[in-house]
Amino acid sequence: MNNNFENLKVMVIDDSKTIRRTAETLLKKAGCSVVTATDGFDALSKIADTHPSIIFVDIMMPRLDGYQTCALIKNNSSFKSTPVIMLSSKDGLFDKAKGRIVGSDQYLTKPFSKEELLGAIRDHVKTDELTGSNG
């Protein structure tokens, strides 16, 4: 079955505790292993340690925003193929375009649903990672 998210490593980067908790709860219920970070700086060290299969990143954050964080992830040869999904309460064309420019793979508008989160994982994470057969 294609909906097996067992032990899939997902990172959620957001300065809002509510958003982090919501995403973490939804993803854990689906079987994902979730790592959270409060901003881009916090995330960059955790990404190197945990090697997530997919990263959800908020755009509006202090210190290092989502665009900068995404650009840094995509410019690192070890992580450039890791899907990065932008999260934002803004639904503007400019924001989506800017997300594409820095290398994001998708753009979700908050509030997001469980279906949107899991759909993004289904769309961007390779099937062998979803089924757990790493070989």
Q: What pLDDT, on a 0 to 100 scale, did the predictor assign at position 131?
A: 63
Q: What pLDDT, on a 0 to 100 scale, did the predictor assign at position 91?
A: 80
pLDDT above 50 for 97: yes
Where b means 16+ CB within 10 Å and e means fewer, 5-28 reads beebbbbbbbbbeebbebbbebbe
pLDDT above 90 for 5: no
- pLDDT band per the 50, 70, 90 thresholds, residue 24: very high
Report all structural domains of the chain as residue ranges with CATH numbers, in order of start: 9-120 (3.40.50.2300)
Alpha helices in the chain (DSSP H): 17-29, 40-50, 66-74, 93-101, 114-124, 127-131
Task: Please give the model's pTM, rounded to 2 decimal places.
Answer: 0.92
